[in-house]
Homo-oligomer: A and B are copies of this chain.
């Protein structure tokens, strides 16, 4: 069995979740981990058999035994770390987005470094590898529903985030809807060419103070002429609501929510079933593992990654256009051209 030798940068809450997922993949050999607060979790890491620990991510970049890094640090560090990792010749898995800037120049510079150094970069658009959505994707590609005409996404978070977290990771459009933009584009195999967004604060009016919203409805038009509708909410009391539907000339594919329970309780009042899975941790557990496996496969077999830097930039452009649409009340064009040259 061929393996890749891995360094992990960033072991906060998300990083630890990913670490446990990575440990279930036999092809991954974790050589070294880095976190600025590494001492806090040092014992726990030792218990897991991960003894090569450092506070400084440069140690990982300088480690010749490491060929691949996973970057799970906060968004504001992505630009710096990914660029340095590329220049150090490492393959890179990085959570989206590539930069905090709402203009894409910073991201493009990162991609230039990646390209120049001939390393692989995969972005954390985990939903692409969710078994439900991946199955839809594959069926669409195989022509099961003919020509796709409309993609419909409902994406609702189980609850509001703290304001300070929102300010660090981005508001609804850049943290949450960005995944839907990528999903829409992925399903339709076409760039988003125009966005109209309408939204506001139906749940928490104080979100206005930090220039964010909690409820959103969007209409998309794709480069190939097809349409998309997306609706978002920050608080679905019944759990994490994640549904995708693709309608085409020869049929329709849709993925309902996942509950992991098939138990039905029949009473004199009604038929009762379990509600959907509560959070992204459970809902996308397989998606997270699958995206890592796909990245391993891309490296070992020199195949294209499942979600590229360009994919992030295209989703980011849609989010920027949606932001402007919210501000102006008008639909916004999205540039569909992309070149690193």
Q: Which residues of A contact B (CB under 8 A)?
A: 24, 26, 47, 49, 131-132, 135-136, 139, 144-145, 147, 149-150, 152, 154, 156, 194, 196, 198-200, 202-203, 215-221, 225-231, 233, 235-239, 241, 245, 247, 249-276, 329-331
| Inter-chain contact A254/B247, CB cutoff 8 Å | no
Instruction: Select which of B198, B237, B273 is within 8 A of A219 by beta carbon.
Output: B198
What are 23 A-B pairs at a CB distance below 8 A? A132-B262, A135-B261, A149-B215, A152-B154, A196-B198, A196-B219, A198-B219, A202-B249, A216-B227, A227-B231, A229-B229, A229-B230, A236-B247, A236-B266, A237-B268, A238-B251, A241-B252, A252-B265, A254-B264, A269-B275, A270-B272, A271-B276, A272-B272
Nearest-CB distance from A152 to chain B (Å)?
Answer: 6
Assuming A267-B275, A274-B271, is B217 touching A202 (CB within 8 A)? no
By Cβ-Cβ distance, the 8 closest A-B pairs, closest first, are: A238-B266, A256-B262, A237-B268, A251-B267, A217-B227, A252-B266, A271-B273, A217-B219
Set of chain B residues within 8 Å of A147, measured between Cβ atoms: 202
| Inter-chain contact B249/A266, CB cutoff 8 Å | no
Set of chain B residues within 8 Å of A149, measured between Cβ atoms: 202-203, 215, 233
Bound-state CA distance A173–B19 (Å) is 44
Set of chain B residues within 8 Å of A276, measured between Cβ atoms: 266, 271
Assuming A199-B227, A231-B152, A252-B238, is B270 touching A275 (CB within 8 A)? yes
| Inter-chain contact B251/A132, CB cutoff 8 Å | no
| Inter-chain contact B272/A263, CB cutoff 8 Å | no
How many of these chains are in the complex? 4
- Give A271's nearest chain B residue, CB to CB: B273
Set of chain B residues within 8 Å of A245, measured between Cβ atoms: 154
- Give A247's nearest chain B residue, CB to CB: B233
Bound-state CA distance A177–B135 (Å) is 31
| Inter-chain contact A215/B132, CB cutoff 8 Å | no
Bound-state CA distance A269–B265 (Å) is 13
Assuming A202-B225, A249-B237, is B331 touching A196 (CB within 8 A)? yes
Instruction: Select which of B250, B258, B263 is within 8 A of A253 by beta carbon.
Output: B263
Set of chain B residues within 8 Å of A152, measured between Cβ atoms: 154, 231
| Inter-chain contact A247/B331, CB cutoff 8 Å | no
Nearest-CB distance from A197 to chain B (Å)?
Answer: 8
Set of chain B residues within 8 Å of A257, measured between Cβ atoms: 262
Assuming A149-B202, A199-B227, A202-B149, is B265 touching A144 (CB within 8 A)? yes
- Give A148's nearest chain B residue, CB to CB: B202
